[in-house]
Structure 1
Amino acid sequence: MESMLGIFDWTVVALYIAVVAFLSLRSRFGRTQDADEYLMAKRSMNWIVVALAVFATLFSTISFVSVPGEAYNYGMAMMVLGAGQILFLPLGIYLFLRFFFAAPTFTAYEYLERRYNRSCRMIAATIFILIRLFYTGGVFYAAAVIFESLVGWPPLWTIAAVGSFTVLYTLVGGVRAVILADVIQSVVIFGGIVAILFRLLQVTGFDPVTVLSFAHAHDRTFELFADPAFYRLNVHDRWNFWLLIYGLILGPLMTMSCDQLVIQRLLTSRNYRQAVRSSYTNYLISIPVIGMLYLIGVFLFFYYHGDMAVLPAGIRGDQVLGYFINHELPAPLPGVIVTALLSALMSTVAGAVNSLVTVFFKDIVSPLRPLLAGTPVEMRYCRCLTVAGGVLALGVSGLMILFGQGVRTTLMEVIGVWSNLWPILFVAFLYGVLSTRVSARAILVTLAAGGAVNLIFPCLMYYAMPEGERWGFQWLGVPGLAVALILPPLLSRLWPNRRELDGLTLKTIGESLRNNR
């Protein structure tokens, strides 16, 4: 599709890139960069900065594309999941977050070595690396869809150009540059969403009641919750009550335990109390943003199905937003939206590369070569790994785009299928804090067995099945999670824990941990 952007639009994009480049250079020069600065910003970031960084990191082009596409295709029911997860955030903080502040920590997986052993730490870190590599591929898959429909960029060009610049500013400025850029990106993302929603209100006559009534009449709001079939237990359902409960509980618990992408941002906070504040603020920012994105999808459905405009044949739900931006927004608003999309993409990729480097260096390289700590060689390793991690992530992204084009699913489903290893990692942390009996050997077997199940199931019950017979994509992680929850207590009867666990479980938590706030 030919780009409709003009000189004013591209000026906005160029200005944004210049600001990010400036922040990267400013973060690099004027301070000594050691590993603590490069990876953790000396644990000196203000809570609101960290909250905005977490929001921008988690808000990718997947969100920008898939959430309006979800509302356009299926309605607003899934909005309840995104907004409702804050209900279980306090439990996630209580169970996990404070353990990461009990000692100077770079990664979540350091806890697993203290609780179990080094092998558990290294295997869990490897699983995280695999998950985030696929996640980065999914981010670029989403970016390719929207940039191709919006500005006519070939998918591989998006990877090469945007990815290379993102890796470069991450390499130069480290996590401080990434976080400061995230703050700017949060503002740009929010401004872009508001601009789109305002324009949709304008072209629909500022009549949201009519829009929502039309959406309700066409099952695009919350009608699903009144359908008795929504409450049945059926693994072929794309979405139902049981998956809602599953996501509401598991989402924040996994985020607060095993997702280094978030944990690393929180660990740059000045202390535990500020990290908690950042966690709540991130969710409170996310809720209205998610709501606006779902409204955008509903307004787009009304605009193109309510006899107000004609959508060309062949435009899918995931591409409608790009088409609307290209044809209905006056300059320089398309430039603002492209900038917001670039912000979402670059923020997530920068965060992913930074967390991949931190996990690989601190959880895999450093335990094998402890003498590197505090030496000039340590920084050379970090920089080389940033380049290598970025190149690997971009390579996986290219393969994901080619692979994803052969699977007829929505973007949400593509990402959901490749997120099934998260629950297995979560179980290692859950038993770590809840049980004093579960041993390292039991967790190692659990990681292997649960991971194998959740890698095999997508192949058997999704990709190998006809479209009408597939399991719902969110069910694909449940079998491995069930195996992972059952195995540790059973295996610990054979191999009980014999390690000292002072301060590492809820039962043995010490006063020093309680007061470390």
Structure 2
Amino acid sequence: MSAPDQTVFGIWDYVIMAATMVASVAIGLYFRFTGGKQKTNEEYLLADRNMSIFPVAVSLMASFMSAITLLGVSAENYYYGMIFVVINISYGIATPIATQLFLPVFFGLQKTSTYEYLELRFGPHLRLLASLTYTLQMLLYNGIVLYAPAIVLESVTGLNRLVSILVVGLVCTFYSTLGGMKAVLFTDILQSLLMFFAVFSVVIFAAVEVGGFGEIFVLAKEGGRLNFTNFSVDPTERHTWWSLIIGGMFTYLSLYGVNHTQVQRLLTVSTLKRSQICLWWAWPVTSVLSISTCLAGLGIYAVYRHCDPFTTGEITAIDQLMPYFVVNKMRNAPGLAGLFVAGIFSASLSTISSACNSLAAVTLHDYVGKWCTVRSSYVPWLTKLMACVYGLVFLALAFLAEHLGGVLQAALTIFGAVGGPLLGVFTLGMFTTFANEAGASVGLVSGMALTLWMSFGSPRPGPPKLPVQVDGCPFNATLPNLTPVDPSDYFYPYRISYMWTSPIGFLWVMVAGSLVSLIWRQQQPWQRAGHAYPDPALFTPPLANILRKRNQYDHKSAVQCELLKTIKSDD
């Protein structure tokens, strides 16, 4: 198997890719010049809160299923086995928690920025700290979302990375700036269809190549890829049922329960019930794409089981595996390579457009609105300007990413490590009445310090890959002689699976935040405002119901006391 000719794109491939970009721009233009024409922030950021369920549910999936996910999950199943698919169980466990315990709070408040909740519950300093953390997190992540697929596709297909970054970045900035949230939601539908097509096409071609869909599983089992039986409780093992279900649950909650990008989408429908339905439907849509991508990885393994392209040097990184398969095995179908690349680009478009709109909302409400007064007539234009600026910043970061080397992986690690502590802060606020701003702030800062130290600390052992073969290559190839690594030689916290990072950060914030709050007493925001009782709307529904009953009882007791005093004074 020789290296693929990199001039694989024909006229139909370019036509299909161009049509995808033109369609995205057309959707943005349509919503700019129809309906309310994006003249108000309510329409621009929240689609007038009258969206239907289907586009919101699909967008919830597309917002964080980036090209990095599609390329990475397929390679994960090829080199480490299919146990990763177990993470989809955690999504099913986390969905009712998010819909019943977290979403009602945000929907009841109807705030444009999720971090406005933290000011109402704790105070302005924590709101600023959390929103700045979110902004930095999204800037780093989306710069990589734009850069990583471009460099992977260039190395395999020859598609110029400069052109890729510019086309995707500018198109995304254009339609999300003009069309607002409505354009983002409806382009997500188109882009999600292309993402599904890209993955399904790989599965189908792999099945045809090996003689049937069932044969994929037969060959994968022979190669040890159907490794579903790891129930170890050892936290240093990379993927087990425990790490994938528990770690996946906390990761899902950090994204779909409290992350501003997702909460903003859930506020674009008219009622809480419809919003909960959106989140329920997002689970199967996300799982179908996730499982399909896992199957794509198994299919590619079945095809290359006797001649691993990474070991032979056909590809230089495992994330190039899926594009390599498309170029190597699907190139004879006119336009198919173009559809695949359009699907990969669409995964980046959906993630970046969501970030442009979400960061514009956070910047307007958490920074600009706090520091200066803006005339209401200028607010919509200022919001659009900020969405455009963020799109251009992502472009700049994508080009800078070329010179960052190992920091790319570090930035992706930041995205995961920050989620757990932020989930802990929101949980402290919604599930306790005693937690205060000092405790939550100390918990957040120390929790992120812990998770980032665990994630960045080095040296750390690399994850062991499953065996691969090169005995079936049409050219001479040998397996490298690898010296066995003894994990016990490494510092224990650096050996803990990355799947435990989010739960550890969450638990740290809960424990540290609670202890500091109990030791370092502060007035709560409602006390500073002169109210005797907290607003039940700031708490998760079970606790809110208790507070409402207690407040009613206390209020009745106070009224009765005043009545008794009045009677006695009359006597």
- TM over 0.5: same fold? yes
Preserved contact between residue 450 and residue 481 of structure 1 (Cα < 8 Å): yes
Alignment of 1:420 onto 2:417: yes
Residue 508 of structure 2 corresponds to 483
Amino acid at match of 2:29: L
Note closer, same or farther for the CA distance 1:480–1:50 as it changes in structure 2 (3 Å cut).
Answer: closer
The secondary structure found in structure 2 opposite 1:4 is coil
Q: Which residue in the other structure is 2:32 paired with?
A: 28
Mapped partners of 1:160, 1:268: distance in 2: 30
**The one of 192, 208, 226 aligned to 1:186:** 192
Which residue is equivalent to 1:398?
Answer: 399
Distance 1:187 1:209 in 2: 25
Q: Measured at CA, do residues 427 and 344 of structure 1 come closer, stay the same or move farther in structure 2, by a change above 3 Å?
A: same
Kept in 1, the 8 Å contact 2:90–2:249? The answer is no
Q: Is the 8 A contact 1:35 1:378 kept in 2?
A: yes
CA RMSD for the aligned pairs? Answer: 2.6
Asked which structure has the greater RCO (Cα within 8 Å, sep 6+), the reply is 1
Q: Is the 8 A contact 2:147 2:165 kept in 1?
A: no
1:258 maps to 258
Equivalent residue number for residue 117 of structure 1: 123
Q: Does 1:372 align with 2:408?
A: no
C-alpha displacement at 1:454, in angstroms?
2.8
| Residues 70-109 of structure 1 mapped to structure 2, 5 A cutoff | 70-109=76-115
The correspondence of residues 446-485 of structure 1 with structure 2, limited to 5 A, is 446-459=443-456, 461-462=457-458, 464-465=459-460, 467=462, 469=490, 470-471=494-495, 472-477=497-502, 480-485=505-510
SS at match of 2:83: coil
1:495 paired to 2:521: yes
CA distance in 2: counterparts of 1:248 and 1:267, whole angstroms = 24
Aligned partners of 2:327 and 2:413: how far apart in 1? 29
Whether 2:313 is the aligned partner of 1:335: answer: no
Say if 2:139 and 2:394, in contact at 8 Å, map to a contact too.
yes
User: Match for residue 539 of structure 2?
Assistant: 505
Question: Which residue in the other structure is 2:270 paired with?
Answer: 270
Q: Which letter maps to 1:4? A: V
CA 1:310/1:159 → structure 2, altered by over 3 Å: closer, same or farther?
closer
Q: How far off its partner does 1:442 sit?
A: 1.3
Deviates more, 1:184-193 or 1:419-428: 184-193
Q: Deviations over 1:407-436 (max 9, x none)?
A: 7x9x7x973454201111111110111101
- Report if the CA contact (8 A) 2:146-2:394 is conserved: no
Q: Which amino acid aligns with 2:115?
A: Y
Following TM superposition, by how much is the alpha carbon of 1:256 offset from its aligned partner in structure 2, in angstroms?
Answer: 3.5
Q: Verify: 1:222 aligned to 2:224, yes or no.
A: no
Contact kept, 8 Å, 2:90 with 2:244, in 1: the verdict is no
Native 8 Å contact 1:257 1:429 kept in 2: no
Equivalent position amino acid for 1:170 in 2: S
In the TM superposition, residue 360 of structure 1 has moved relative to its aligned partner by 1.4
* Alignment counterpart, residue 17 of structure 1, candidates 16, 21, 27: 21
Q: 1:4 aligns with which of 5, 8, 12?
A: 8
Structure 1 contact 417–474 (Cα < 8 Å) conserved: no
Q: 1:390 to 1:257 in 2, by over 3 A?
A: same
Once residues 296 and 169 of structure 1 are traced to their aligned partners in structure 2, the CA distance between those partners, rounded to angstroms, is: 31
Which amino acid in structure 1 is aligned with residue 19 of structure 2? L
Q: C-alpha separation between the residues in 1 aligned to 2:130 and 2:321? A: 39
Match of 2:361 among 358, 361, 370: 358
Identity of aligned residues (%): 24
Q: In structure 2, do the counterparts of structure 1 residues 75 and 11 end up closer, same or farther at CA, with 3 Å as the change threshold?
A: same
Instruction: State the alpha-carbon separation in 2 of the partners of residues 94 and 477 from structure 1.
Output: 21
Structure 1 distance, partners of 2:498, 2:60, is: 26
Q: 1:492 to 1:310 in 2, by over 3 A?
A: closer
What is the CA-CA distance between 1:131 and the residue it aligns to?
Answer: 1.2
Cα-to-partner distance string for 1:285-333 (whole Å, 9 max, x where unaligned): 1222211111111111110124799995242432121111113221121
Asked if structure 1 preserves the Cα contact closer than 8 Å seen for 2:255 and 2:419, the reply is no
User: Aligned partner of 1:393: which letter?
Assistant: F
The alignment partner of 1:95 has SS state of: helix
Task: State whether structure 2 residue 351 is matched by structure 1 residue 318.
Answer: no
Q: 1:433 aligned to 2:430?
A: yes
CA separation of 1:402 and 1:156: change in aligned 2, threshold 3 A: farther
Change (3 A) 1:266 1:418: closer
State the TM-score, normalized to the length of structure 1: 0.89
C-alpha contact 2:154 2:161 (8 A) present in aligned 1: yes
> What TM-score do you get using the length of structure 2 for normalisation?
0.81
Q: Deviations over 1:274-293 (max 9, x none)?
A: 11111111111122221111
Write the distance in 2 (CA, Å) between the matches of 1:299 and 1:37.
44
> 1:143 matched to which residue of 2?
149
Contact 1:47/1:277 (8 A) holds in 2: yes
Rounded to whole Å, the distance in 2 between the matches of 1:308 and 1:201 is 18
Separation of aligned partners in 1, 2:505 and 2:285:
32
Query: Could you list the per-position Cα deviations for residues 419-473 of structure 1 after superposition, in whole angstroms to 9, with x for gaps in the alignment?
Result: 20111111111011110111122112222222233333333x24x5465645343
Closer, same or farther in 2 for the Cα pair 1:282/1:189, shift >3 Å? same
Q: Structure 1: which 5+ runs fail to align?
A: 513-517
- What SS does the corresponding residue of 1:58 show, helix, strand or coil? coil
Question: Does 2:69 align with 1:63?
Answer: yes
